[in-house]
Structure formats: structure tokens, C-alpha cells
Chains A and B, each alone.
Chain A
Amino acid sequence: MKKILAVDDSASMRQMVSFTLKKAGFDVTDAKDGVDALNVAKTSEFDLIISDVNMPNMDGITLISELRQLAQYKFTPMLMLTTESGLEKKSAGKAAGATGWIVKPFNPDQLLATINKVLR
């Protein structure tokens, strides 16, 4: 079973993403901000990281660049959840090592379709 780490400071988004992914057969762990995610990621190994961008404590872009420094996440796909108004974040995200992005708002089907691009 593929393991996914879902990071979002919003509990409802976190639950929605986790629920959708679990239902689709993934093993999902969630985290509420970058610091939380980094701690979880260090003690485990995930096949995909999905992270919100704007979060307290540590934002998604910093999280991605931190994770890329870790040997086990060198090539791991990492997607950022971003809103349209945050388009300029995309390049910052890419520079930090993000694989791609999912534009909010999205529905469960769009989420799964996007994940299909990186987890086959």
C-alpha cells in the first residue's frame, strides 16, 4: 500500500484529503503544519507528500525544501495545494523542489486524478 503524508492546517481539508485517499486505498498519515509534517516524515518513509502552502509554524514551501534535503525524500513526489491567487507560489514551490501542484478548490475526483500523475 502506498503511503501518503497529507499536510494542511485546516482540519476539514485534512480530513477531506485523508478520507478521499484512504477510500482510494492509500495509507494516509496527516500533519497540521510543516513542523509536524517534518517530524512525522523523518520517522517514516512516504511515497507521496501533499502539502498546503500557507500554514503556521512552517509553510509548505519550506517543508518541501527541508524534505528534499533528506536522503529518503530526494526523489519523492511532493505536491502543493495552492489557490489560484497563489499562482506565484508555484515557481517558489518548484524552486524548493515541489513536483507539482493541485489548485484549490478541488474535489475528490480531481485530487485522485492528480495523484495518478505521480503514483502509478
Chain B
Amino acid sequence: MSVDLSQFYEVFFEESFEGLDVMEAELLNLQPGTPDDETINTIFRSAHSIKGGSGTFGFSSVSDFTHVVETLLDQIRDGQRQLTQHQIDLFLQSVDCLRGMLDSLRASEEPDTQVSSELKKQFEAILSGEDAPTEPKGAELAEPSTPKANKKQQGWNISFKPGLDILKTGNEPIYMLLELADLGEVDVQLDVEQVPVLGDIDPEICYFQWQIALKSDCEQAAVDEVFDWVIDESDIVIDAIKAEVEDSEQEYALAEDDNASTQLETAESITDPPTEVVKPTETNKAPTKAEPKNTEASSIRVSIDKVDSLINMVGELVITQAMLTQLTDGELDSSKLARIQEGMAQLAHNTRDLQESVMRIRMLPISFVFSRFPRLVRDTSKKLGKNIELKLLGEQTELDKTVMEKISDPMVHLVRNSMDHGLESPEERVASGKSEVGLLTLNAYHQGGNVVVEIADDGKGLNTEKIRSKAIENGLIKDTDELSEQDINELIFEPGFSTADQVSDLSGRGVGMDVVRRNILALNGSIELESRPGQGSTFTIRLPLTLAILDGQLVRVGEHIYIIPLVNIIESLQVDVSKVNNVGGEYEVLRLRDEYVPIVRLYESFNHTADSNKLEDGLLVVVENDNGKVGILVDELLAQQQVVIKSLEANYMRVEGISGATILGDGTVSLIIDVAGLVKLAGINKALRSISHLNKEEVA
């Protein structure tokens, strides 16, 4: 039977990555010495599963490497070895190495075995160390190989006396006899000598014994295998039935007589090896043959109770629907009205519950992201020579899988930033009267329809003076500008703040805080910072629970209704035309309090007919974009409501300035405005840039 093993690869990769995450998390909890049984067992089990799976699915490079890891873990687990810091480090490196190998295999690439063989050597060195227990494997190898098989044997005489309790282990002697019959011709004699008198018979005991003569040219190993499982509790004797000619000379002569066939055999055995050589390469290739899975299948594991609750809700919905059908069947009279209304309310309730339940399916605990930080903090603090304790709070806080995937990188950046710039060296901390150990706290919780993630440290806080001078240096502000501390601190989110000379090995990497903020804004989220000089800083990220629903402001331009995400909107106002300037005949800017805001006439950008083309007739919706503020001119503001985001691309294509569509209460489609895209479409990016200068001059 052929089973295509490649269909299980993806599951294997997924569980292996999970296993590696578990290993990593547990390893980080380990202290040198004699570790706690449960911890080491959990680590062992993960390694063991990866080894078993990779062996089964033909990923020999992974199983070979995992074998040495597992062996050392096993010895530690059995108390044969003391766990050392070096070993913990080695195990952690193995986790990374295995991740890399599995990543390659998942992408249908041959894994690079350079790192693994390097690590393997280190493991082998430990395993073969003097204090190491003797390898049982070596002993096995030293054992003489199977006694020279007498090729001229014609079969086997077998005496099989099963243990009395053989049936209680689920073994069935009859099956073993049938198995022998598969090997050749059998002559079976049943020996009932042990069967007691009827009254004493215990039906659960096997009293029978057998004498079997098997005529077959099979190896003894084949016969041994039949009894492999019962050899310990049974009395089994296997003797070869020899050919009548026992003289070796005659045998030789016989062989000579058979010369022709012998030669043929030799010829065959010569051609054999190449085919055998080919086979392993084929199996090695198997993973590469699999369809390239560059776009990894996106799947989600859902707990049974979420699915059960969904089924319950659908059940209720069906009941309500049945009730309504019954009510509306036949004549409609006023007596039914009250009950129909009741039913409709019930339906609304069911629908809302169902929606919530469906959304919950996509929700995963934030621990999926948090779990990568212990390792990151451990490695980074080591590198920085700082002593940092990581505290994780609210790990069970759930958020949408897509949001989670996108928030991970910005969080890593912020954590690195805190470790690098926020937290001080132990000496510095002691000098300022703090504990030597710096505290980094990640906290997640729900607030309203948002999930809030805080990254807090008890370090020195932001160096406002340094930020100010850097910003002046980079032309972001003028040295005459009077800005509050908070305003200055927030300059770190400005594009162009992070400059090359400031890039450190850790938090720099050429990516600035502006990118972090942009990524968070792209998720319809926001980021705030709070700095307490000498006491630490806190970054607070606020994200929508899901990307599938959005709070929107409905706006109208002529006959068209659009939705602007509420998170983008700062304020809406009527334009005071006297404060509008025309810059270079290209774009209009409104002076709004102490800054200039470029105006985007929506009807113009979208090529629609508006009620009026006069600025003063419309309303200006001021929105925040990652490059600054923009005013969008519309005819009218309508309601604010939650909308379900639908794809426009699924059946059409990407549209500049539009992020998606939704269906309004009356069933019509309304498009959702993508503020960044609209700014691009309106061609006012340049305007925004020159305005940032204008603003500064003006403020000055």
C-alpha cells in the first residue's frame, strides 16, 4: 500500500515548531544541577517527538541530530549526569539549529547541516566524556554478528511452549502459527500434556504447547521475529533442519555443480548495489519533491469548547428561525405581531452572539508572542552585560491571529530598545540606588474593544535633552522651538529621527521607532509613551481586537458614502476659508491652531461630483497619517458604526485609496478609505514634507 507521507509534513512541522517553543521555554527555566523531573521530562518529550516524526517522515538530518540531543537529555533525566550551564546553552543552540533545519525542510530545501554537525560533535564529546556511562550501543556492536547461517539448512524445528499467561497480554499463539505458515510449509503438532482436568481449567490460561516443523529457506531471524514479543515468557527452542549432506567438501562440490546458477547470483549481486545506492537518495529527495510551500498553509488550532459554543449558538439560531417561520406561516394577523417582534429580537441576539463566537475562533492568547521574549531577554542581557528580569503579565489575553502576527516584530523592537537604552548597567543602577536587577514588564489586557500591550522598564527613562539635540541636529525641530517634554520624547517616533550613528547592534538595525509606529498604525492601532526620568519608561500599544471589524465614520460626498476608520480621525470641523493658503498653486493648506494641514478634496481625488466644490460648504475631517495630519473634505458626516470588513480584491482588484468594503444596514456596499493610500493618491506627500518645514517656521 502506498501512503503519501508528504501530506503529514505540514502537521509535523507545526507540532515540531511548537515542541521547540516548549523546549526553549522550559530550558530557560532550567538551572544547572539536578533539574526538576517534570521540566526535564517535558523537554525530553519534545525532542523525542521531533526525532520520532523526522525519522518517520524521512528527514534523516533532523532525526540524526535530535538523537544526540535526546541521548544527553535522557542521561540527565535518569540522573546519570549533572546538568551544566554549558549543556543548557548547547540545548538552546540546538533548538535554534533545529528551527533552521525545519524551516529549510518546510520550504522544500535541503537543510544546512554545518551548524548541526558542529553541535553534534559537542554533544558527542560530552557523551563520550570520561564520566559518561558506557554506551550500550558499543557493546551491542562488539557482539559477534549472527552465527554463520548454514545456507544449506532446509527449515526449522521449533518447540513453542508459551507462557501460561500469554493470552493476557493479547498475544494469540494461533496467529504466530499462521505467521510461520506464511514463511513456508508447516507441520504442527499440538501437545496437550499440560491441560489439566476439566474442573481445574482456567479459561484465561494457555495450556497448549506446540512442536512445529517449518520447511523454509528463511533466515532464523525471520522465525525469531514471529516470537519476538513472547520470547521472554515462553520456552522457545529453534533448531535448524540440516540438509542430508553435511560434509563440507561435498557441499563445496555441490556448489561447483551449481556453478551456472551461482554465477548468475553473483551477477545479480553485482547489479544489486547500485540500485540500493539509488534508493536512499530517492528517499532523501522525497521532501524536495513535495510541492514548494513557500506560502505556509495558514491554519489555526481551535479549542473544542470554542467549537462547541459555536455549535450551541447555531442551534439556538436554528430554533429561533424555526419559530419565526412558524409564526409567519399562513395568515399574518396582529395577534402574532408581538411574538414576531420578540422573535426578531431573539434573532438579533443570536446573531450577535454567533458573531462574537466566530470572532473568538480567530483569537489566540498573546502568550504565543510573549513566549519568544524570555529567550530574547536572556540572550540580549548577556550580550549587554546587564542583569534583567522579565515579567510577563496577562499572557492569556486573547487577540486576533492576524493582529498577533503583525505585532510581534514591533514588540521585539520595543523590548530591545528598552533593554538597550532604557535599562542601565548593574553598576549604574546600584549607583543610583536601585536594585542591580533591571525589571522589564510585558503586560497585556483588554480595554473596551481594544487589546492593550504595555512594555515597561524601570530604567532611566528617556533622555529628553539628548532627543532634543538629536532632533535639532536632524532638522526635525529648531533649537528655538519650545516643546513640552512629552512632545520632545514623542519625536522618537518621527521618520528621520533614528540616524545611522545611533544604530547600535541591538535596537538599531536600521529600523527606527517610526517604523514601529507605522506598523501599529497600519493595524489601526496606536502607540503612546510615558517616560519618568530616573524611574523608567512605558510604551503602550493599543490594538483593535480583530482586523475583521472596524469602527467607522460614514461620510458622504455627493451620492457616495465612504467610511473613514475612526481611529484615524482627530477632529472634524468647518473650514474657515480665511485660514486657507494656496501653496505654490499646487495644494491648499489650512492653518489649524499652530500647524498647517493640507486639504484633500475627496470628490477630486475620487473623481466624484460633490454637493458643492466650495471649502466652506463642506466639512473637513482631520485624520492622522504617519506623515502628519491631513484634512479630508467631504459634504457631510453621517453616522458612526461598527462595520465588518470585506475584501474588494477577492473579486476585483486593489484600489488606490481604498482598503476594503463593507455592507451597510440597507444592503448596499460602502468602501472604506485607506488614509495613507488617499494621501498618496492626492499627491500631497510632497506637500506634507514641505509643510513640516512650514510648521516649524511658523511655530518659531
Contact = CB atoms under 8 A, between A and B. Distances in A.
B and A form one assembly:
yes
Contact of B229 (A9, A101, A104): A101
A94 B232 contact: yes
A105 B57 CA distance: 8
Interface in B29-57: 42, 44-45, 48-49, 51-53, 55-57
Contacts of B56: 12-13, 16, 104-107
B1 A23 contact: yes
B172 A83 contact: no
Interface residues of A, number: 40
Nearest to B14: A11
A97 B165 CA distance: 10
A5 B42 CA distance: 24
Given A54-B45, A77-B172, A106-B56, A100 B229 contact: yes
A58 to B, nearest CB: 13
B52 A117 contact: no
Contacts of A85: 67, 70-71, 74
B52 A105 contact: yes
A74 to B, nearest CB: 7
B45 A105 contact: no
A54 B171 CA distance: 23
Interface of B: 1-3, 5, 7-9, 11-12, 14-15, 42, 44-45, 48-49, 51-53, 55-57, 63, 67, 70-71, 74, 167-172, 175-176, 178-179, 204, 226, 228-229, 232-233
Given A16-B3, A20-B1, A85-B74, 14 more contacts: A12-B9, A12-B15, A13-B49, A16-B56, A20-B3, A24-B1, A54-B44, A54-B48, A94-B229, A108-B3, A108-B5, A109-B1, A118-B171, A120-B178
Interface in A51-100: 54-56, 68, 74-78, 81, 83, 85, 91, 94, 97-100
A76 B170 contact: yes
Contact of A16 (B5, B48, B233): B5
A16 B55 contact: no
Interface string A2-43: 000000011111011001100110000000000000000000
Contacts of A117: 175-176, 179, 226
A80 to B, nearest CB: 10
Nearest to B44: A54
Contact of B52 (A19, A91, A98, A104): A104
A78 B172 CA distance: 12
11 contacts: A9-B45, A12-B8, A15-B11, A54-B44, A75-B204, A76-B170, A83-B51, A97-B169, A105-B55, A107-B5, A117-B176
Contact of A97 (B49, B170, B176): B170
